[in-house]
Amino acid sequence: MPQRPLRSIAKSEEITHGVSTLENPAILEKLEQSISREEEAMALKIPRCGRCSAACELMPLASVSGEDGPLKLTLLDLPVFACPKGHKAPVHGDFMLWLIHEIRAREGQIAAGREQGMIFKKHLCGGCGKDLAPKPKRRQVFPYELKYEDLAPFKLQIDMPLYKCTACGKEQIRSTKDLHGHVAQAVVGINDGAGFPHSG
């Protein structure tokens, strides 16, 4: 393997990781576009609207949600670009990808059981190792605060069903995998719910 500078190796690892964790072509396309602009500064520029060319403004979006499988994600007061006609765009071409990474960076903080079995899967308590109840008892919102670059902070809510351990009674999500595997698609739901275009 030819010698490459450290920096470009680090970048290619980042890219490989991004591709392997993304199922959505729209986000992949964004990732590729962002890579082609890799030397461009991250400084925030308020662009013209991609659909009607009117001047955009930075404004908070009160609430937007996306769901996939057991996972529901909600963002409150998300800063977005909006034009006077109400067309909206994310604050950076990389934003949705960044969001997926930020959510996944927090998934380990949520108490979880573990999946067992290759074909006949069951879920065991992350505390005592005994069986979790087969059905969830309730849902819970796990709140976080996120901040993109120098913009105002906004709130993230990770909403998942909780399963009770049949032995020790501890409540938890079935597994971290149960959350992880749905993040990208739920973020696509947020993208669509916010009215963001699928590229650009």
Binding site for Zn ion (CB under 5 A): 49, 51-52, 54, 83, 85, 87, 125, 127-128, 165, 167-168, 170
User: Could you give the 3-state DSSP secondary structure of residue 112?
Assistant: strand
Q: Residue 187 Cβ, how far from Zn ion at the closest point, in Å?
A: 23
Q: Residue 163 Cβ, how far from Zn ion at the closest point, in Å?
A: 10
Q: Residue 4 Cβ, how far from Zn ion at the closest point, in Å?
A: 42
Nearer to Zn ion, 9 or 168 (CB): 168
Nearer to Zn ion, 93 or 113 (CB): 113
Nearer to Zn ion, 86 or 117 (CB): 86
Instruction: Report residue 12 CA to chain centroid gap.
Output: 21
Rounded Cα distance, 30 and 18, in Å: 11
Q: Residue 200 Cβ, how far from Zn ion at the closest point, in Å?
A: 12
SS (H, E, C) 132-158: ECCCCCEEEEEEEEECCCCCCCEEEEE
SS (H, E, C) 147-200: CCCCCCCEEEEEEEEEEEECCCCCEEECCHHHHHCCHHHHHHHHHHHCCCCCCC
Q: Residue 133 Cβ, how far from Zn ion at the closest point, in Å?
A: 10
Nearer to Zn ion, 83 or 100 (CB): 83
Positive or negative: CA dihedral 120, 125, 128, 131? negative
Helices (H) and strands (E) in the chain, counts: 5, 8
Nearer to Zn ion, 52 or 59 (CB): 52
